[in-house]
Amino acid sequence: MTKTLIVTWAALLTIPALGQNQNDPAVISEMQKQIKDLQQQVQTLKEGPPRDPQSEGLMGQDFFKAKGLSFGFYGESKFRFPEAGRNSFDAHRYVLAPTYQINDWLIFNSELELEHGGVDESTSRGSRFNGELELEQFYVDILLHENFNIRSLGIDLVPVGRVNTIHEPTTFYSTERPELYREIIPTTWMEPSIGAFGKITDELDYRVMVSVGAEDFSSRAAGAGFTAVDGARNARPRIRGEYDENSLAYSGRLHYHGVQGLDTSTSFYLTETRGFANSRTFVGLWDVEALYRVRNTGLELRGDFAYWRIAKPENLLANNDASLMNNVGERLYGWYLEAAYHFWPAAWKEGKGSGMDFVPFIRYSDIVTQSGLPSGTRLRNGTTNKRFLTLGVSWFLNPNVVLKADYRHNLDGSEASAMQGANQDYLQLGVGMFF
């Protein structure tokens, strides 16, 4: 309607002008001005008001300048007082996450991780550091449609479980990642891969991935991938290998957040792995987990269950070596339940306390890496099947920085477990950052 009025108005303005001297510069100038005005009005009707050219300037001089490569960061340091052995400091993770929005549908993401303080050349007194330099993520997201986007060939996290995909230290409360995410879901678990992701509904999204599969036998490394003590931890494939020994692995995750306070997912991983003397077996992992924040209280509950099924455990290397103590059965599984309470009264949320949170927590974990053994001896010394009780507190100075302290007790502990960092009791202090 308004457009019609404008066109009519333009015609009425133009007709009298035609009757005048069309070469009159004043008339021509006036007509040009009127046409320009009309164009602007039509444009406004069509597209709405333009954003103030200075609107972006309103956000501060540097706000929009991050158009090149930008960096995210997370990191964590720890000091451990173990039940056996020496106290130790560990600059566990220092992770730079460069990202670049190439255009509005191509986004580069990556993570470069320096672990345990770094690496250096050995000197006459040995290396000062005992760390690693890792490319944890490295891919381009090709955004096609909100329902279907492609994650390019590169390195990405296997989309299994919560903590493998979201593992920044401000997203969990213990100084170490939950025990389930060591032997059962071997975080940080990243593999050469290609994938896709998108949303199914506003509350349900998915990720799928095809990657290099789990590795039991490797001609480039001694020892077995699947073992009783380390579970699936050493089955993570070699990132730079020649993949003539690995099958493809297929994995995926469904993530649901449609119920207020509840965030839950289920995920799977399936591959065929080569074991002893070229024999093979299918291995599959299934995980289901949930986080529930009870509304109007500080209570937060988390639970996670992960289950490996090994079709032919007798084909695995660990079940065909000289040791009967490291044998793996047809199942590896684990679960944990955690309760945390966010204790920081609204009255304290002022000044430096405005972003603070104080979160005591307790977690019970059960890890089973020997179940359904085809042969061999089941270890009962807290290094394979084991239960942990972890108590601690996280003090968030703001949402990006957390100070942590916890005590972990191996309920099946023994002298053997005390000597292993992954299984020992300890008191640990930590600091985590994510921004």
Which 3-32 residues touch another protein, going by CB under 8 A?
Answer: none
Cα separation, 125 vs 155, whole angstroms = 35
Query: Could you tell me the smallest distance in angstroms from the CB atom of residue 252 to another protein?
Result: 14
Question: CA–CA distance from 130 to each of 107, 114, 126, 171 (Å)?
Answer: 33, 11, 10, 26
Tell me: does residue 59 bind another protein (CB under 8 A). Answer: yes
> CB–CB of 155/193 below 8 Å?
yes
The distance of Cα 366 from the centroid of its chain, to the nearest Å, equals 23
Cα separation, 199 vs 162, whole angstroms = 17
What residues are paired with 303 via a beta bridge?
290, 337
Tell me: does residue 54 bind another protein (CB under 8 A). Answer: yes
Query: Could you tell me the smallest distance in angstroms from the CB atom of residue 78 to another protein?
Result: 22
The stretch near another protein (CB under 8 A) out of 19-27, 95-103, 175-183, 330-338 is 95-103
As given in the structure block, the two tokens for residue 179 are 């025990």
Coil, helix or strand at residue 37: helix
Q: Given candidates 92, 255, 363, 408, which one binds another protein under the rule CB under 8 A?
A: 255
Query: Could you tell me the smallest distance in angstroms from the CB atom of residue 61 to another protein?
Result: 9
Tell me: does residue 266 bind another protein (CB under 8 A). Answer: no
Q: Given candidates 153, 362, 416, 431, which one binds another protein under the rule CB under 8 A?
A: 153
Q: Which of residues 195-214 bind another protein (CB under 8 A)?
A: 196-197, 199, 202-203, 205, 210, 212
Q: Given candidates 141, 156, 179, 183, which one binds another protein under the rule CB under 8 A?
A: 141
Tell me: does residue 60 bind another protein (CB under 8 A). Answer: yes
Which helix (H) or strand (E) segment holds residue 34: the answer is helix 25-47
Q: Given candidates 194, 324, 337, 403, which one binds another protein under the rule CB under 8 A?
A: 194
Q: Given candidates 124, 322, 350, 352, which one binds another protein under the rule CB under 8 A?
A: 350
Choose among 99, 96, 139: nearest CA to 118.
96
Query: Could you tell me the smallest distance in angstroms from the CB atom of residue 354 to another protein?
Result: 5
- Residue count of the chain, please give it: 435
Cα separation, 317 vs 327, whole angstroms = 9
Tell me: does residue 302 bind another protein (CB under 8 A). Answer: no
Q: Given candidates 223, 261, 303, 360, which one binds another protein under the rule CB under 8 A?
A: 261
Tell me: does residue 263 bind another protein (CB under 8 A). Answer: yes
- Tell me the Ramachandran region of residue 26: left when phi exceeds 0, alpha when psi lies from -120 to 50, beta otherwise: alpha
The stretch near another protein (CB under 8 A) out of 12-20, 21-29, 65-73, 304-312 is 65-73
Q: Given candidates 174, 175, 246, 369, which one binds another protein under the rule CB under 8 A?
A: 246
Q: Given candidates 31, 150, 288, 422, which one binds another protein under the rule CB under 8 A?
A: 150
Tell me: does residue 349 bind another protein (CB under 8 A). Answer: yes
> CB–CB of 82/88 below 8 Å?
yes
Q: Given candidates 49, 222, 345, 352, which one binds another protein under the rule CB under 8 A?
A: 49
Q: Which of residues 73-92 bind another protein (CB under 8 A)?
A: none
Cα separation, 24 vs 321, whole angstroms = 102
Specify burial of residue 272 (Cβ count, 10 A radius: 0-12, 13-18, 19+): middle
Q: Given candidates 1, 5, 12, 52, which one binds another protein under the rule CB under 8 A?
A: 52
Q: Given candidates 96, 112, 119, 143, which one binds another protein under the rule CB under 8 A?
A: 143
> CB–CB of 418/386 below 8 Å?
no
What residues are paired with 310 via a beta bridge?
283
Place of tokens 């096609």: 144
Nearer to another protein, 293 or 312 (CB): 293
Query: Could you tell me the smallest distance in angstroms from the CB atom of residue 175 to another protein?
Result: 20
Cα separation, 148 vs 207, whole angstroms = 10
Nearer to another protein, 101 or 371 (CB): 101
Coil, helix or strand at residue 107: strand
Tell me: does residue 107 bind another protein (CB under 8 A). Answer: yes
Long-range interactions of 127-131: CB distance < 8 A, separation 24+ = 131/91
By rule CB under 8 A, what count of residues binds another protein? 71
Q: Which of residues 374-393 bind another protein (CB under 8 A)?
A: none
Tell me: does residue 238 bind another protein (CB under 8 A). Answer: no
Choose among 386, 340, 334, 394: nearest CA to 363.
340
Q: Which of residues 303-342 bind another protein (CB under 8 A)?
A: 342
Tell me: does residue 356 bind another protein (CB under 8 A). Answer: no
